[in-house]
Structure 1
Amino acid sequence: MSHDTIAPYTAFAGSRHIASGDLRHVALKVKETMDSSAQEPVILDNTTCRLVEVDLRGTADDIVMRLHVPQGEQEDAAPRGPGRPKLGVVAREVTLLPRHWDWLNSQPGGASVALRKLVEDARRMHQAADRQRESRDALYRFMSMLAGDQPGFEEASRALFAGDKAAFLARIASWPQDLHDHARLLSGAAFAEP
């Protein structure tokens, strides 16, 4: 398996890479290989390395049709709560000390505007570090799910969280080629300088 960039989705059956690409392509490749694979295939979202549930029953056309059902169709039936849902504003509870509320309420626009500004400033300031942490967590999720029984897994995990790329790459060198290649691909963002 070779990649120059990380595809949005990847499927594995055990340690064997099945396909990478858009969800339609990956789902159809998984459908093709399901009967010949001794191990249950999994489809991963490569950004988070979380499992993607795809209904693979029926024909290829059935699968593709189900993939194109708009995500919001089920959500539209749910009752809406307070806030400004058309703008994407969601009401949630925030617990602060009285002095924090006093300061927030004294800001121009009130507490909500001040909190949104603080959050946006923090997001901008920590964006690179947050992206690296999310990439590291995704790589660990991939490793735990598909390589947890591989030799050097514990050591590779420690190297990952210590930020030691050389040690990480050394620990995954003996893994099956497809697992090694995908872990190495995902490691680029996990070890990037924030």
Structure 2
Amino acid sequence: MSAADIASCIAFDGYRRIAAGSLADVALATKHAVDAGVDGPVLVFDDLNGRPLELDLRGTPDDVLARLPASASDDEPAPRGPGRPKLGVIAREVTLLPRHWDWLASQPGGASATLRRLVEEARRSHRERDAARLAGEAVDRFMSAMTGNLPGYEEASRAFWRKERERFMHVTDAWPADVREHVRQLAMRAWQATLAD
């Protein structure tokens, strides 16, 4: 399954919402809007993390869909060739103090297996806290990109992080409707994730 089928995102023409939903649907709606001559700027955001998405809208709708990024967790296995199977292991640098390396070396399975086990344990035990943090960062990124120049941005940001819901709603009332509604949705999701933490 590709990111086009599972990602939730939203596209804006300036402060006006073009489309929201799966990446494929939003990409096609954005292409149609750009081809129709929107005023712009056109920005697309990933709802999960609030990061802007770069879409190549050149060519036909099929061309646009073919260039969408694939998910890192594809359900369909890649065709196998000869040799060892690819396990998805990525080698990167880790910097630790000597006492950490000594401790890792004394663990069964070696340093890599121990680090993987520790990461998996931390992912399980901190799932709610990580979800709350990521939801808050999504609000912050989206607000910075879309409302950073609007009146009350800094006050709204402070109200969001302090969980002052009434103040946040009041300050964002004057913002353009589509942006206001989306940032409020993101904020509610973040506050709910914090309650679950």
1:35-80: CA deviation from partner (whole Å, max 9, x where unpaired): 342222111111122222222223333323433x8679xxxxxxxx
Partner of 2:171: 171
Task: Using the TM superposition, name which of 172-181 and 56-65 deviates more.
Answer: 56-65
TM-score by length of 2: 0.79
1:116-147: CA deviation from partner (whole Å, max 9, x where unpaired): 22221222221111111111111111111111
Partner of 2:106: 106
Alignment of 1:1-194 (within 5 A): 8-34=8-34, 35-67=36-68, 86-192=86-192, 193=195, 194=197
Gaps of 5+ in 1: 1-6, 73-83
TM-score by length of 1: 0.80
In 2: Cα distance, 1:52 partner to 1:18 partner: 14
Answer yes or no: is the 8 Å Cα contact 1:165–1:191 preserved in 2: no
Would you identify which runs of 4 or more consecutive aligned residues in structure 1 move more than 6 Å?
Answer: none
Letter in 2 for 1:131: A
Partner of 2:76: none
Shift of 1:11: 0.6
Letter in 1 for 2:96: L
In 2: Cα distance, 1:25 partner to 1:61 partner: 12
Residues 156/93 of structure 1: CA separation in 2 closer, same or farther (3 Å cut): same
Identity within the alignment, %: 48
Gaps of 5+ in 2: 1-6, 73-83
Answer yes or no: is the 8 Å Cα contact 1:13–1:41 preserved in 2: yes
CA RMSD of aligned residues (A): 2.3
Residues 60/112 of structure 1: CA separation in 2 closer, same or farther (3 Å cut): closer
SS at match of 1:86: coil
In 2: Cα distance, 1:63 partner to 1:101 partner: 47
In 2: Cα distance, 1:36 partner to 1:96 partner: 53
SS at match of 2:95: coil
1:72-100: CA deviation from partner (whole Å, max 9, x where unpaired): 9xxxxxxxxxxx98222222222222222
Residues 38/130 of structure 1: CA separation in 2 closer, same or farther (3 Å cut): same
Letter in 1 for 2:53: V
Letter in 2 for 1:182: H
Q: Number of aligned pairs?
A: 176
Letter in 2 for 1:57: R
